[in-house]
Each structure stands twice: as C-alpha cells, then as structure tokens.
Amino acid sequence: MKIHVINHHFWPDASPSAVLEEGLADALRDLGHDTVLVCGSGHFHDGERPQPASPIKRLSSHETGNRRSQLAVVADYLHFYRAIRHYVRDHVADDEAVLATSSPFLNSFLIRTLRRHAPRAQLIFHLHDYLPSNLRSLGLIQRALAPILRWRLDKALHAWDLVIACCGNIDYQGSNRQVARFWPTIDRPIEPRTVDSQAKRALYAGNLSIVHDIPALTSAMTQLHDDGWDIDVFADGPSLKLLPEWVKPHGFVSGDDYLDILYAHPVHLVAGVRGTGTGAFPSKTLNSLAVGAKVRPCGFQPEMLDELRILEGIDDLWSNRQAAAVMIDQFLNDDQSSSAE
C-alpha cells in the first residue's frame, strides 16, 4: 500500500521527529509498502546521516524558521498545515494510507480534509506528545485553555483509524489507541564501545523548551557540580538562559561527534515536563540507554519513572521500530481483509 508519511521536517534535518519517522517509513518499506515522506520547507537542524530509502516530497510551505517566540512557531505551523491540506487534496487516494505525526500538533486536524477527499483511505496518527498535558505545565492562561484544547484534540484524534502513542504515559485514552514505544535515533554502533565510567562528566543534550522542568534539572546539575563533576550541555531552546552561569553550553552536534559525546559521559541528565507525568517521553533517553549510560531523571513524575523502568528492561531498544512497523502493517492488512469480505 502507498503510505504518505507526514512530518514537519525530514532529512537532512536532524530533529528527533524526522529521524524517528524516516526510520519507521523505511521499516514499512522493508515490509513491502510504498512510503513517501512529506514535509515542509522549514528548517530545524542539519545533521550528518544517510538519506532515507523512502523518497522525500518537500512542499513550498513558506515557513520563516523563526523560533524566537511561541507566536512565530505557531505561524510556521499554520503555513505548514495549509501546504499539507493542499497536498492531501491533490495526492491522497482512497486506496492509500496516511501516517501523520504530532509534529506539529495541527496535523491531527487534517482529519476533516482527509475524510472529505479520501474517505476510505487508512489514517494513522503517531502521537509523539500530548499538547494538553504540556499546557498544564505553563501559565494560568495555558492551564485554563488545556481542558478546551483536550476536548477538541481528542475529538479529532478519535476520528483517525489508529492512534499510536509513543509510550504508556501519553494521556490520550481513545479506543483507537495503541502503544508503540520509541527507539534510539542513533545507528547501532559498528564496533563495540563502552561508556567511560571513570570520567566525572555529566551530559545534557537536546532541546530545552519552556515546558521542561528547569528547576529540577539545575538542581541535579548543581549537586553534581558541587561534587566535582563537569557538566556539558549540547542544547538550544528558550530555557537555556535559565541554567547556572557556570554551565557553558555548546551547539548541537551530529553523526560521529554526537556518538563520541554520548560515550564520553557516564551520566546523562534528562528533564521531564513540569508538573505532569503525561506529556512526552524524551526521545534522547533512548540514545542514553542504548549506549549504556546512566540516565538521571530530573523532575520525572511517577508515570514517567514507570516508563523509564520499562525502557531500561528492553534489551534491544532498536527493536521498538520494527514492532511499530509490524503493528501498522498488521492494521493495514486486517483492514484490507475486512474490506474484501
């Protein structure tokens, strides 16, 4: 079956959502599906990695790439959403499938356009995070809007044929929900490597958004710093300026440089979402566990800690990608069988 995989960014962008969906699309391609990656013209971070096997359709969405404010980000999302709606009208047929993601969250509202123009297409939504939970971690206005957004978002998600939650703590509870956990965004190491367990170096790598629990993260950094540890931060985001002044941040790195950084630090700090256990599970955690580093959770609620324990018990975290692909393949095959009957 032809599957249109829709995400805000794809190769050469190195955003985690791009890497995850490319891997999932290629796994579905290995199972015999004709996958095409559909993205906008926005930009996040270039990375050093091979081009995916699935072809890429890059739309002229006229995004600015300005991430200096929430309004600027939402404006880019709207540009992308408009471009995707035009693509759906022109390119998605009844005998095909769509796999959309919550990057950006507006993708969930494509459902009306999809049902109108391809009413019998198979529609799958990969729920990376759950925006109503993230809003509850912000100010009074956002918290007040969270129940309204949850009602509207859940109504849209209920209309998809299958909603795949990336982990067990995602707080969408529709009857069409199934769980398929994330997998590392790094390739499997070609030769055996071990983390430098003797080094007193701790790492934070990734984005620091306004929803991360920065007080919990800075508390952990300060404790390690007072014990003589070096703290390395390879990150960006609006909350970077809230870290202690002795933290010297570096820019993002990718490819072999990123692997070297992971293996050079025996302790990896991971920040949870403030005040909620049902937001999103940090994808960077999978990379930390995959290389054998000790994950130190900062501000994790009980649901997040339970999820971390589950991931720590999975021997082959890369197998999660194949499991997600098999779940989708089985769903599509079952639906085709039902249609034939």
pLDDT (tens digit per residue) in 213-242: 899 999 999 999 999 999 999 987 778 888
Residues 210 and 308 placed together within one structural domain of the fold: yes
Under 8 Å CB-to-CB from 254, ≥6 apart: which residues? Answer: 14, 45, 46, 47, 48, 49
pLDDT score for 149:
83
* CA max distance for the chain: 68
Q: Is the dihedral of CA 70, 71, 77, 80 positive or negative?
A: negative
- Residue 274: domain span: 201-312
Q: Specify the CATH number for the domain of residue 256.
A: 3.40.50.2000
Is the C-alpha dihedral spanning 112, 114, 118, 119 positive or negative?
A: negative
Low-confidence ranges of the chain (pLDDT < 50): none
How far is residue 58's CA from residue 270's CA, in Å, rounded to a whole number? 32
**The token pair that represents 94 in the structure block:** 């009844």
Neighbours of 94 (CB within 10 A): 10
| CA-derived radius of gyration, the chain | 20
Same domain for 327 and 308: no
Percent of the chain that is helix, strand, coil (3-state, to 5): 40, 20, 40
pLDDT at 146: 75
Q: Of 165, 184, 162, whose CA–CA distance to 175 is shortest?
A: 162
Q: How many angstroms separate the CA atoms of 254 and 259, rounded?
A: 8
**Per-residue pLDDT at 323:** 96
Specify whether 256 is located in the same domain as 332. Answer: no
pLDDT of residue 338: 59
Number of domains in the chain: 2
Single-letter amino acid code for the residue at 151: W
Query: What pLDDT is stored for residue 129 in this prediction?
Result: 85
pTM across the whole model = 0.90
Kindly list the distances between the CA atom of residue 198 and the CA atoms of 205, 219, 263, in Å, as whole numbers in the listed order.
Answer: 20, 23, 12
Count of alpha carbons within 13 Å of 267, Cβ hemisphere only? 18
Q: Which position has the token pair 């007193």?
A: 200
Residue 195 lies in a domain: no
Residues 133 and 258 in one domain: no
Asked if 167 and 223 sit in the same domain, the reply is no
| Same domain for 285 and 244 | yes
| Same domain membership, residue 167 and residue 32 | yes
